[in-house]
Structure 1
Amino acid sequence: MSDLVDRIEVTLKEKKLTFNRVEHELGFGNGTIKRWKEQSPRLDKLIKVAEYLNVSLDYIAFGVLQTDSSPNGAGIPSLKRIKEEQGLICDGSPLTDEEADVVAMYRLLPPMHRHEVYDYVFFKYQRHVEGERGFFSSAYTEEGAAIQSGPGEGRNAYTETA
């Protein structure tokens, strides 16, 4: 995120503005923009800054100006190129395209949503690991249908009494 703040700072200097002035005029708290070096900014705030500075959101986010000659964003670096440049690796092997896309999308989420995603993935991981060991609820699902706890308790059991 520091590149984003650096691009904003360069634009501020070109326009002879300060962080404090922009933050004050946009109704942001003091130091909000500089905190974006460590925290992901909200999209609505980025849009306000881009509009205030009269630059494209593409420039602030990616460092590339989208011109009239490239209306479809041809100047924006491709996700594939970014992944190759960053060399995304986990456990010593490169991430698949799908894994890298998940990481890229995760990074674009606000912190609150990142926690929700992490909690969900962790939950799914735990269920998967427990499933391999045989967790208690598998006896009540289709996967555990073959599990019988005793004679006469399967799917074809008779309800007659002796």
Structure 2
Amino acid sequence: MNPYEKIKDLTRQEGISVRELEKRLGYSNGYFSKWKTVSPNSDGLSKVADYFNVSLDYLVGREEKNNTSFASDDLNKILDNAKSFDGKPITENDKEAIRLFLEGRMSK
């Protein structure tokens, strides 16, 4: 799968269009569609990888998994150590909501 196809897949998972991604990253309309026939530049690839939190290898098809692999135990430790947000204590309900959100994002 070429980088453009990976981008289409990632934007579909994110619930946005390729055009919306181009806007968010400051590119002109059709910027990514050129990658169907022309090799992408490293700046563009890096911005897409950072936006979706995936590796450059993933975008160019060298691996099949993205780099968002946290063990559930790691996530629990992080949340257990979280003390406050915006000066307010984080409740157990807040921690659970954060945990569910992050697990959903990491499973993409």
Shorter-chain TM band? 0.5 to 0.7
| Rounded Cα–Cα distance in structure 1 between residues aligned with 2:15 and 2:9 | 10
Q: Deviations over 1:1-54 (max 9, x none)?
A: x62211111111111111111101111110000110011111011000111112
* Alignment match, 2:51: 52
With structure 1 as the length reference, what TM-score do the two structures score?
A: 0.38
| Rounded Cα–Cα distance in structure 1 between residues aligned with 2:56 and 2:39 | 15
* Alignment match, 1:33: 32
* Alignment match, 1:10: 9
One-letter code aligned to 2:37:
E
| Rounded Cα–Cα distance in structure 1 between residues aligned with 2:19 and 2:51 | 13
Q: How many residues align?
A: 68
Which structure would you say has the larger Rg? 1
Consecutive unaligned residues of structure 1, counting only runs of 5 or more, are: 70-162
Q: Deviations over 1:50-81 (max 9, x none)?
A: 11112111110125136599xxxxxxxxxxxx
SS in 2 for 1:36: helix
Q: Deviations over 1:100-137 (max 9, x none)?
A: xxxxxxxxxxxxxxxxxxxxxxxxxxxxxxxxxxxxxx
Between the two structures, name the one with larger relative contact order (CA 8 Å, sep ≥ 6). Answer: 2
| Rounded Cα–Cα distance in structure 2 between residues aligned with 1:10 and 1:44 | 20
CA RMSD of aligned residues (A): 2.2
Shift >2 Å, 4+ stretches: 65-69
One-letter code aligned to 2:27:
F
